Amino acid sequence: MHVRHSFNRCSVLCYVALLISIPLALWGQADRGTINGTVTDETGAVIPGAKVEIANAKTGVVTTTETGINGVYYMPNMLFGEYNIAAESDGFKRAEVLGLRLNVGSEIQQSFALEIGAVTETVEVSAAQVQVQTTSGAVGSAVQIEQMMELPLAGRNIFNLVNLVPGAYRSRNGNISIGGGRTRFLV
């Protein structure tokens, strides 16, 4: 008796597509974040086709996009770091927000309300406030390089940085508790 195994073309193509998409999905989660927002006028009406420039303050790399028909711009897979974001459209003043920090795996949601005026006029806002994650229920924290360089660390032990993260604690014997959970020390 002959047993014949055959795969139809669709199942093979689906399998190959799955094998290709898994590494791509994981690559996008490595050290990247997302920047998005809405561009409106002073009355709250959306501005489609507005030009949005996202500049990495450290590298100087500028990424440009436009808002869609709903006034929304979306830039995924942006490297972590500090960004300056500007929005402009014909008949409106250019608006800029400086010093927004994008952390690994986080999202910056920066919207603009453009004022009527010439494009040569600029409204500049400095971003000193803490960014609040409004699109996800995930809780996360990142210790910034400035904190690591300026704080005294006992013995320069990087595990002491755990105490800087809200909801996490490292005891004197080295056990770490996150979110009030029990500590476990495995040898």
Q: What is the dihedral of CA 145, 150, 151, 156, to 10 degrees?
A: 70
- Whether 91 and 46 share a structural domain: yes
- Whether 55 and 104 share a structural domain: yes
Centre a 10 Å sphere on the Cβ of residue 148 and count the other Cβ atoms it contains.
13
Phi-psi region of 74 (alpha: psi -120 to 50; beta: other; left: phi over 0): beta
Residue 121 lies in a domain: yes
Range of the domain at 158: 145-178
In this prediction, residue 39 carries a pLDDT of 95
- Whether 77 and 106 share a structural domain: yes
* pLDDT tens-digit readout, 102-137: 888 888 899 999 998 865 656 666 555 455 556 666
What are the distances in angstroms from CA 57 to CA 60, 85, 92, 125? 6, 10, 24, 15
- Whether 47 and 112 share a structural domain: yes
- Whether 41 and 100 share a structural domain: yes
Rounded to the nearest integer, the mean pLDDT of the chain is 76
pTM: 0.57
- Whether 44 and 95 share a structural domain: yes
CATH number at residue 48: 2.60.40.1120
Nearest 5°: the CA angle 94, 70, 64 is 45
pLDDT band at 3 (very low <50, low <70, confident <90, very high): very low
The phi, psi pair for 34, rounded to 5°, reads: -125, 140
- Whether 69 and 110 share a structural domain: yes
CA 62 from centre of chain: 16
* pLDDT tens-digit readout, 27-67: 545 578 899 999 999 999 999 999 999 999 999 999 999 99
